[in-house]
Amino acid sequence: MKKKSQASDLIGEDGRLKGKTSAADSSRSGSGQYDYSRNLGAINHLSSSFTTDEVSVDATSEKELGNEYFKQKKFNEAIESYSRSIALSPTAVAHANRAMAYLKIKRFQEAEDDFNRYPPCPDPSLTFGVSEHCDPNLITILQQESDVFGLQVLRNGEWIGVEPISKAFVVNMGYQMQIISNNKLRSVEHRAVTNSEKARTSVAMFFIPNGDSIVEPAKALVDSRNPAIFKSFQYKEFITHFINKTGQSCCRLRVFQAAGLAGYRFNDRMLPLNQQALVLGCLLSGQLLYVMFCCVGM
């Protein structure tokens, strides 16, 4: 197995990813085809309307400012705020928000590029649809096209394809669910890859805590034999750390672990799938379960 590269080894002097591009951010060449040779890594892609010197504020604040502009129907200002948010933290939520603002002012090409649509690539090794990551939120519900593979999860050092199933949703645990479950439910590292023959479209719904919400292990899952692995914190503290921290997923969680657990390995306490389902049912509110079941029943 090849040794995984460090993040610093993947980024060139210009601040962009070396070698790989994101199909979601690739631009069209003069022939009307996507130019996969351009080095436009999604994580480091900046809107042409501003420079890196201007991007010094918190991504969440910029997204919220964009939401306010959107409510006031100031769609150009909303696009600028969402673009700054994407530059700091390129989440699918920020891309989707910006896409909606583009639609309001009838800029359909930009809106299409902001949604999770990955055109076919003759050589998928040239590009990632979305680079490997774990979701920082609570839960993500994903709908995929039923006949196009693209989603992959990392298991035991190997990337495994997730088979798309018609009329089914993928429910992905985010970091906050991992913390609330006291590490019994783990946020899985995943990515999206392109297909050599077909375009792929996916739609995601994110359950995100309020910035002032207190996140901590559920009391029902903590006792003398199962001490709290994580400390209490506000969600906005986590997001600020998540935006600024690079490296493996465990490194992003390390700063939030409880005192006295310096040597704890986050992958050591995974439960069998049937027990994971019991823990999940115990933690989710009735309202959230209702929303999830409504989505699956659509």
> What Rg do the C-alpha atoms of the chain give, in angstroms?
20
Between 296 and 59, residue with greater pLDDT: 59
> Alpha-carbon distance 144 to 263, whole Å?
38
The Cα-based distances of 253 to 33, 84, 177, 215, 261 in angstroms read: 41, 25, 12, 13, 12
> Alpha-carbon distance 70 to 297, whole Å?
31
Q: What is the pLDDT of residues 264-275, one digit of tens each?
A: 555 544 444 444
Q: What is the pLDDT of residues 166-217, one digit of tens each?
A: 778 888 889 999 999 988 888 888 887 766 667 666 777 778 888 888 999 9
Lowest mean pLDDT among 86-95, 179-188, 241-250, 287-296: 287-296
Mean of pLDDT over the chain: 65
Between 52 and 65, residue with greater pLDDT: 65
Q: Over pLDDT 70: what percentage of the chain?
A: 47
Strand 139-144 relative to strand 200-207: parallel, antiparallel, unpaired? antiparallel
Q: What is the pLDDT of residue 110?
A: 55
Q: What is the pLDDT of residue 105?
A: 72
How much is the average pLDDT of 59-82? 83
Amino acid at 37: S
Strand 117-118 relative to strand 151-155: parallel, antiparallel, unpaired? unpaired
pLDDT higher than 90, residue 68: no
Lowest mean pLDDT among 2-16, 64-78, 194-208: 2-16
Q: Which residues contact 149 (CB under 8 A, 6 or more apart)?
A: 161, 162, 163, 164, 195, 200
Q: What is the pLDDT of residue 251?
A: 64
pLDDT higher than 50, residue 17: no
What token pair was written down for 184?
């019994």
Q: What is the pLDDT of residue 66?
A: 84
pLDDT higher than 60, residue 155: yes
Q: Which residues contact 237 (CB under 8 A, 6 or more apart)?
A: none
Domains belonging to the chain, first-starting first, are 8-118 (1.25.40.10), 124-296 (2.60.120.330)
**Local confidence band at 233 (pLDDT 50, 70, 90 cut-offs):** very high
- Sheet of 117-118, strand order: 117-118, 200-207, 139-144, 170-173
How much is the average pLDDT of 123-127? 48
Q: What is the pLDDT of residues 94-114, one digit of tens each?
A: 666 676 677 677 665 555 555
CA 92 from centroid of its chain's CA atoms:
6
Between 251 and 239, residue with greater pLDDT: 239
